[in-house]
Structure 1
Amino acid sequence: MLKYFKTSDILSATLKFKFVNECGHDADGVSKDAYAAFWESFFMKNADGEVYCIPVLSQVYGQEEWEAVGRILIKGYKEHKYYPISLAPAFFIAVVHGENSVTPQLLKESFLLYISQSEKDVIEAVERGTQYDQDELLFLLDRF
């Protein structure tokens, strides 16, 4: 899909999706399946996180590819109300409305669902003032 979404003209084009070796007419379901397949593949290869994911910058994608990803997000939502729910809300709000629109509470909630359960347990233990593994906390702080 990235190949086709590299130009901004795609946002005004009418798209018809078809899966190779599958019968079916593109009502709304085939299009939604195409967007879902793209995001599933994208998150597996280009994102990080546990419950919520954020895209990870790599040398494989340049500006043209990231703009195509943005167009896929916009087109999928505008035309089919398809939104990849794994995308961290804080990330999405920062992209759409600017970083200043992300509240500290939303950032914390998104972060706690981004990290692993064991990392979340350490942070929550620190907040409660209960016992925690100091080496795990230092590793977590160093990582982020």
Structure 2
Amino acid sequence: MNFFLKEEMNLRTDTLELSILTEKGEDSGGVFRDAMSEYWETFYLKHTEGADVKIPTTVHIMKQEEWEAVAKTLVLCFKQEKYLPVQISRIFLEKCIFDTTPSNEELLESFLGFLPDMDRGLIKDALDNFDSVDENELLDAFSNFNLRVYPSKDNFRKLVVELAHHELIQKPSFVTLCWFPILSCHLKPLIDKLEDTYEQSIVTTRKVLNLLVFPEEMSKAEKATAEALKRYVKTCTTEKLTMLLRFCTGSDIIIGKKITVRITPPMSDFSLCPVAHTCGCVLELSRSYDNFLLLREHFENVLDTKVLRMDIV
């Protein structure tokens, strides 16, 4: 944001390269991908509200210039690496790019993702069968929304749609005004259907497995290591998959980068550790990892530290 507030950059033609001053070598995308993942993770924390689906929230320290800088960062991330901050509500981002009006069903789906798990389940149950939920629990779920109408069986669906529109469209309208001129100019020509772009970016086990590229010819020990890695991927939660993807590529979403798996000679227990080269999206594993339990233990240790060891050069 500070870069865009201080520097002039032509978003149509210019690209941004990052370097680590203490490292020798040239970045071919890995440093940039890791920086943008860190940027959006921090942005979600400081400037959005919502659970699985997030909405930018206006605060006094964020003026028009700052919000425009965020929009330029978003454009840069997508143009250089096809990266979209997919935790931001899709219908909100569609409003900022295409000026579209969401359907009631789209509002409901996005609003349910916006809510905490407990409230989400309660309101979803009430939408399906209003009489099945506890009235006091339902009122408590709406306590943060300054509800002016008492919910009933007859008005509940309409009430939730109106709340969804207020939270997802009306409240962030200032951000929409700041983002629309920039996003509609630079992203609209690049995105045919935002829903497809979101779907392609979301991390799943099958997608991560399809990203792995192994050597064409492998020994028995190397095949065992490859199978141990695939087995580990299948056991990962979505959160852990996201961390693994970032470890290997620098990006915390799917951006189409294949992960080349190199299986190296056996190593001692003291030097044994998965190594990632994010610039080339390469994962190095020793043949010593033919044991699934050992591979899982070492990956869990690396990923749980949240200090990822990635070789830049």
Instruction: Provide the TM-score with structure 2 as the length reference.
Output: 0.42
Percent identity, aligned pairs only?
30
Native 8 Å contact 1:16 1:31 kept in 2: yes
TM superposition shift of 1:14 = 2.6
Partner residue, 1:109: 109
TM superposition shift of 1:135 = 2.6
- Give the direction of change, closer, same or farther, for the CA distance of 1:26–1:57 in structure 2 (3 Å limit): same
List per-residue Cα deviations over 1:2-59 (Å, max 9, x = no partner). 1112366352433111245455522122111111111011111111111111111101
AA aligned opposite 2:76: K
Residue 61 (str. 1) matches residue 62 (str. 2): yes
The number of equivalent residue pairs is 142
Partner residue, 1:39: 40
Partner residue, 2:3: 4
2-structure distance, mates of 1:34, 1:76: 10
Instruction: Provide the TM-score with structure 1 as the length reference.
Output: 0.86
AA aligned opposite 2:15: T
AA aligned opposite 1:45: K
Partner residue, 2:52: 51
- What are the residue-to-residue correspondences of 1:78-97 with 2, within 5 Å? 78-97=79-98
AA aligned opposite 1:56: T
2-structure distance, mates of 1:123, 1:42: 28
TM superposition shift of 1:127 = 1.4
Native 8 Å contact 1:8 1:71 kept in 2: no
- Give the direction of change, closer, same or farther, for the CA distance of 1:91–1:20 in structure 2 (3 Å limit): farther
Secondary structure at the counterpart of residue 2 of structure 2: coil
- Give the direction of change, closer, same or farther, for the CA distance of 1:19–1:40 in structure 2 (3 Å limit): farther
2-structure distance, mates of 1:56, 1:5: 20
Native 8 Å contact 1:50 1:115 kept in 2: yes
2-structure distance, mates of 1:19, 1:111: 40
Unaligned residue ranges in structure 2 (runs of 5+): 146-313
2-structure distance, mates of 1:14, 1:138: 50
TM superposition shift of 1:142 = 4.7
- Give the direction of change, closer, same or farther, for the CA distance of 1:74–1:132 in structure 2 (3 Å limit): same
